[in-house]
Structure 1
């Protein structure tokens, strides 16, 4: 099985190699990169390309590793026992399978996405070492050992908000999704907006990369944001010439799709003011 670009996702050569290597080595693929560079979408496209079901485990700051295995609802069991419910005789009625258990028990091989692992507590990755490495875990309430029927393709994403433990990194195949260069971005845009006029695309990407490369920018716009911006430009039926006529404040047309905080808006307003002062 080989991963390639799809009709809706452009994968660079190094990304395709990383996916294939992780599948071959049967190691989790740890994908890092800026928010909005397509890390989560990668897992969906890998599942589609390989013809496998996708299970998504979205990690939050309150997520515990145990939740990926199973959760035992002791409160419900206690309540049912007080009500005389016969279900309390079987503890399995109160065990809820997590995403890892579902992946292990699947009839066929699946893609398991562990999304934004760096949001969780620092110990979260270490708590999954055994399960991801050996593909097995123990259920203490029932005394059973769960083993993966088919080793899932595991894709783990991180926005690099915190460091991950070395022991965890050692068990992963790592890939960093670099921000697309202009040529790759043109291919990405062509997938989403095939009818976009070349002149408008050229001017839009020129302005986008100029904005993105501006020193002092707090939050650089991502791939998803430039796609949103282009969608708005098309909806407003703006031309390349319209884009060149930036407002007096020096901001791009419909800049709200690209700039997401007041500091960056003020930065461009100051730069425009300085440019006008120099030009006098």
Structure 2
């Protein structure tokens, strides 16, 4: 499959940043985060594009990109490294007498380790030249052609984690170094990259499901993604269709324009009803469905489609 063919595969939640349309205020927030060296905390509605910003910035700047989707079980250390103690125990039970296990073989670098010191991450922190640990593989193959000293990291949906988790990453984020206690080694910037040349952008998203610690908020640059406007939705539709369909003709523009009107109206109605308004992602879902099914706004199936993709919490109209 060629690169051109690959880019036209329709993926509902493609997070490669190809179709992201950045708001000027958000672009300024990115610059401020880089200038201050602070993480950028993105707040906004689900489906507003928070998770796509990091990949967009990495793609536009040619920086390496890593992401970690947080769950309720995520610990701060998971972003730094993990250690497979179960596999080590199993290997210890079957090793030959006198055989020494290399603990670095059981270390898996996390996204922050890859961002701070990729060469060290490949070695899994091994310092001895005689280490038998296999080299770790960068989790993002696209990074092979990107900057060796600059990276963007997405820590997605941090509000899902235990309340102690955000504070647990404050020190590594502030100092860009940490101790790998399982193998007693300290991770710092790669020795062959001058500290002044190293630059990272840490993007953290929240859906506001849980209040974040004040100590954590104080150390972040915080911005809200604005509500989608009619013009923004049109720009998103055009970029998406040109990227994945290879076209954005007159009929596409008219459909995207009419649908944007419906979405803006649906958002206003949702706010009045006290329910979650449809997002940019749901706008694209509806646009894809209309084009694929040959539907039109106002036709016989429009009300059913609207209840499936835009106003999901209400009973379908009959």
TM over 0.5: yes
Quote how far apart the aligned CAs of 1:174 are.
0.9
Gapped runs of 5+ residues in structure 1?
Answer: 1-5, 273-280
Instruction: Give the conservation status (yes or no) of the 8 Å contact 1:103–1:148.
Output: no
TM-score (norm 2): 0.74
Aligned: 1:104 with 2:159: no
State the match for 1:24 in structure 2. 35
- SS at the partner of 1:145? strand
- Mapping 1:1-280, distance limit 5 Å: 8-85=19-96, 88-106=100-118, 107-149=148-190, 150-193=198-241, 194-195=248-249, 197=251, 198-214=253-269, 215-216=272-273, 218-239=275-296, 243-245=297-299, 251=303, 253-261=305-313, 264-265=314-315, 269=317
- SS at the partner of 2:282? helix
Output one character per residue of 1:199-228: Cα deviation in whole Å (capped at 9) or x when no partner: 433432222222221122533211011111
Instruction: Give the conservation status (yes or no) of the 8 Å contact 1:10–1:187.
Output: yes
Instruction: Give the conservation status (yes or no) of the 8 Å contact 1:77–1:88.
Output: no
Number of matched residues? 256
Q: 1:203 to 1:74 in 2, by over 3 A?
A: closer
Gapped runs of 5+ residues in structure 2?
Answer: 1-16, 119-147, 191-197, 242-247
Q: RMSD over aligned Cα, in angstroms?
A: 2.3
Instruction: Give the conservation status (yes or no) of the 8 Å contact 2:18–2:56.
Output: no
Quote how far apart the aligned CAs of 1:87 are.
6.5
- SS at the partner of 2:154? strand
Instruction: Give the conservation status (yes or no) of the 8 Å contact 2:81–2:108.
Output: yes
TM-score (norm 1): 0.83
State the match for 2:142 in structure 1. none
Mean Cα displacement is larger for which, 150-159 or 45-54? 150-159
Instruction: Give the conservation status (yes or no) of the 8 Å contact 2:34–2:200.
Output: no
Between the aligned partners of 2:100 and 2:82, the Cα distance in structure 1 is 16
- SS at the partner of 2:22? coil
Q: 1:170 to 1:196 in 2, by over 3 A?
A: farther
Output one character per residue of 1:29-64: Cα deviation in whole Å (capped at 9) or x when no partner: 111111111111111110001101111111111111
Mean Cα displacement is larger for which, 145-154 or 14-23? 145-154
Between the aligned partners of 2:286 and 2:154, the Cα distance in structure 1 is 28
